[in-house]
Each structure stands twice: as structure tokens, then as C-alpha cells.
Structure 1
Amino acid sequence: MTVLIRAGEAETLSASGVTLLADVSDTGGHLTSHRSIFRPGTEGAPPHLHREAAELFFVLGGTLRVLTGEKLVELNQGDYLLVPPGTPHAFEAAGNETAEVLFVLTNAKPRFGYYRLLESAYRGETDWPEVAKTSDLYDNHYVESPTWQNR
């Protein structure tokens, strides 16, 4: 199965800076992928883990600060990071410039509904506790991280 998503055809969620590329329904269940743009000082995701999915980060531009386990690392343009299932992680733009990142999750559940729900929460149309209730549906489980809180 060949999947081609043209830039002008991808759905972009303006409040969150997420461009939806291909979900598991588009890829025969193989993966889900999106691109995100983070303004300086903007948190991309609080600490969470995926029980089933591995998550790949590829930095297209800028610098991204990432929690992986209990380590903080900075990724720069061209850097690649793979976070295995069960590993707590979080991320945010670092430095004074916008960070742009390609994300790919393998062995993932459908995720586009999750990103649309987040968009609704960013716009104030959905309460954050409603987002938290979807953890099993989207394999996105929020966790506590003293390392992230103290960064």
C-alpha cells in the first residue's frame, strides 16, 4: 500500500500547530504520523507514555527539549529519537526559535481523534479532564515526572 499525502491536502489544526499526515486507517495499521510546530516556550505534551506504541521524533527545525524516562535531552535540526513503549516522555520548544518536528508512532492506535480532541481543549471547547478520560482509547497515559516539573 502506497500512501501519498500532499502538503496542501493535510489537515492542519491551528490552535495546536499539528498537521495530520497519515493515521493507521490510511497505512493499513502500520503507523500514524503528524508534524507539529511549537512556538518558543510552548510545551508540546506533558509527561505521558504509550503502552503499545513506539514514538519517533525527527526534528525538522529548531530545538526540542525532550524528557525520555528521567533524562532531559535537547534535539536539534536533523536529530532522531525513538522512544520505546512504556517510556515516560514529554517535549517542548527550547531556545528562542520555533521547533518543527515530524512524529511517527508504530504499533499505534488511531490518533487523529486524539489530536482533534486536543485542538478542542486548546480552544476551550473541551475540558482537560475529558481528554484524560481517553487514555486507553488513544494509548496516551499521563504520568508524573519530577524531572520534567523541575526542568
Structure 2
Amino acid sequence: MASASASGSVTVEDQKSYIKIETLRGKRPTEIHSALREVCGEQTVGRSTVSHLAVRFHEGRVSINDDPRPGRPKTSTDERRVKLVADFLEADRRVTCEEISQATGIPPSVFRILTSDLQKRKISARWVPPCLTAEQKQKRLDIATLLK
């Protein structure tokens, strides 16, 4: 088998295809995982995944794609909602997540928008950026110099 660096990256779909082919050829999951490990190294799917897929292919599964899952997508965040929360926060930085959620009609994902998308954290009852920008640092330096 060729090394992973020589053949480029091997995707999870490629690995699933290989698992399917080798299962149909009659190989055991441990043998399949060992062969994948030689080629993919650390990027290999787990041994339990190989076993699970091998059983499903052996039982007659045809597709290598995941089955559709019920429910809404994990993230309900879009640019419009992030902008709406940012604008609301700009008007009043002491506002709580619950108040933002009620005022904007956005479900309880407001906290994730504030912390992940807007990179804010709560300090002294205010939502602030985690660190100063270069412009803010320069302004502080200028003020400190003037005060001396």
C-alpha cells in the first residue's frame, strides 16, 4: 500500500468505500482497520466505526452515505441573526441573553451567538470583547502618555 503522503489525503468517504469492498471480499474488521491505519495513519476512522460499518455492509447495506437524521440542524445561526444580536448588544451592553432572546425573537441560541460568533464574554454585567484591539491599545497608550 502507498503511504498517505504519497497518495494525498484519504477522506472518510474513501475509507467507507474501502471498508465496503473489503467486507464484501470477506475480510474481518480488524484486518480492514489495520490496512487503513497503514495508509491513513492518524486520520483513520476508529476500529469501532470499521466494525459497525462492516456489520452493516455484511447485512446488505448498499450506500456508504449516512442515514438522514430527524430534527432540526445543530446550528440555527445565520448572518442575519448574528447581525441582529450584535446591533441589539451595541445599543445596550448590560442586556442579558434572555432579554435579547425575548426582544429579537431568537431562540435560546443567543448565548452561543454572543460567545462563539461575536467572541464576547460577560464582565461586570457587560458583554465585552475578550481582548483589546490594536487601536484600543494605542488609544490607552496615548492617554497614559498624556497623563504623565
Is the pair's TM-score, using the shorter chain for normalization, greater than 0.5? no
TM-score between both structures, scaled by the size of structure 1:
0.21
TM-score between both structures, scaled by the size of structure 2:
0.21
Structure with a larger share of its residues in helix: 2
Greater relative contact order (Cα < 8 A, sep 6+): 1
Q: Name the larger-Rg structure.
A: 2
Structure with a larger share of its residues in strand: 1
